[in-house]
């Protein structure tokens, strides 16, 4: 009888599927289905794809869905010890490296949009037009590509040509060959973390000042914007903690390998999966207009 840990074919290791793998697959399927439903709802009404905050919301849904799908494939590959050639892993990892940053940068842009809407209402129409939002999306992807370019550039500068033909378990950590590469990557991530935190705090303080000065319906609208910014801040914090994961996991790995596996699984669920389910909660369910259209679409589908 074959050993469950024996290699089969092209570097594929047969292992018994445990509860953790099943839990991850169920969570990913649920989140992808919810995101797909919200993306379909986004295209059901013209005001959604002509309004800045809904367009940015759709960007987070698309980026989160793509990241969930690709990272889940890498999770399964790693669990079953399925190896890929390094050059193929680079292509896949570009998507992960890019869209790990797209969501927090987009959340920061959404926070600035709420800041402009509440603190500078007269300029909101100009700054939040469809054309300006499209330019904003390009800027978001440009800024998000910087950490990816840094990681790949340092990797290309360090790896030998023979390394690209090797078969390895595909992961982002594979591109860190030397300690100095990890320091550069960490410095870039910490810089992004600092800038995003400053923007979130700045927007929250400014909106809070407007909330104190407002009255009646304006006060109610401002408080709702304040809660939205606070939720963005919480979601952004979860997304940005993933930048600290290498520090945590490297430290734990030096202590105990079994503990390392426990921590890595926890980090994946808590800081990869959890932040990706908060976007539907914040905008898909809290926004009255979007929720109304979503409810109508679901009820029609059930008829």
pLDDT digits (tens, 9 = 90+) for 250-262: 677 677 767 777 7
Q: Is residue 234 pLDDT above 60, yes or no? A: yes
Which three-class secondary structure state does DSSP give residue 186?
A: helix
Q: Give a yes or no: residue 301 inside a domain.
A: no
> Over the stretch 157-187, which tens digit does the pLDDT of each residue have?
888 888 888 888 887 778 888 888 888 888 8
H/E element, 14: none
Q: Give a yes or no: residue 10 inside a domain.
A: no
Between helix 19-42 and helix 288-302 the angle, nearest 10°, is 100
What percentage of the chain exceeds 70 in pLDDT?
Answer: 85
Q: What's the distance, Cα to Cα, between the start and end of the chain in Å?
A: 52
The CATH number that applies at residue 97 is: 1.20.1070.10
- If one counts every other C-beta atom within 10 angstroms of the C-beta of residue 272, the result is 23
State the chain's mean pLDDT as an integer: 79
Domain of 200, in residue numbers:
19-213+221-290
Q: Give a yes or no: residue 295 inside a domain.
A: no
Q: Give a yes or no: residue 25 inside a domain.
A: yes
Domains in the chain, number: 1
Please, are residues 163 and 86 in contact by the beta-carbon 8 Å criterion?
yes
Quote the pTM value.
Answer: 0.82
Euclidean distance between CA atoms 229 and 118, whole angstroms: 11
Greater pLDDT, 259 or 74: 74
Which three-class secondary structure state does DSSP give residue 7?
A: strand
Q: Is residue 90 pLDDT above 80, yes or no? A: yes
Q: Give a yes or no: residue 6 inside a domain.
A: no
Q: Give a yes or no: residue 5 inside a domain.
A: no
């Amino acid at each position: 009888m074959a050993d469950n840990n024996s290699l089969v074919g092209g570097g594929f290791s047969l292992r018994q599927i445990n509860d953790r793998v099943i839990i991850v697959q169920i969570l990913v399927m649920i989140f992808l289905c919810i995101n797909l439903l919200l993306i379909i709802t986004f295209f059901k009404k013209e005001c959604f794809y002509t309004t800045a905050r809904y367009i940015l919301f759709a960007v987070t849904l698309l980026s989160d869905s793509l990241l969930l799908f690709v990272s889940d494939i890498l999770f399964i590959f790693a669990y079953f010890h399925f190896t890929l050639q390094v050059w193929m892993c680079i292509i896949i990892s570009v998507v992960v490296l890019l869209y790990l940053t797209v969501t927090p940068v987009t959340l920061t842009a959404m926070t600035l949009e709420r800041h402009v809407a509440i603190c500078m209402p007269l300029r909101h129409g100009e700054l939040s037009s469809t054309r300006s939002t499209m330019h904003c999306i390009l800027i978001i992807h440009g800024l998000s590509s910087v950490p990816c370019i840094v990681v790949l550039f340092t990797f290309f500068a360090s790896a030998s040509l023979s390394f690209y033909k090797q078969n390895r378990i595909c992961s982002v950590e594979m591109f860190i060959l030397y300690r100095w590469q990890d320091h550069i990557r960490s410095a870039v991530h910490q810089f992004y973390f600092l800038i995003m935190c400053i923007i979130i705090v700045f927007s929250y303080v400014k909106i809070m000042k407007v909330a104190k000065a407002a009255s009646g319906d304006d006060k109610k609208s401002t408080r709702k914007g304040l809660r939205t910014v606070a939720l963005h801040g919480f979601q952004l914090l979860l997304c940005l903690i993933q930048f600290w994961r290498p520090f945590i996991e490297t430290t734990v790995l030096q202590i105990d390998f079994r503990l390392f596996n426990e921590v890595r699984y926890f980090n994946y669920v808590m800081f990869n999966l959890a932040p990706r389910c908060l976007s539907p909660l914040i905008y898909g369910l809290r926004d009255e207009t979007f929720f109304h259209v979503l409810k109508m679409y679901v009820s029609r589908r059930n008829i």
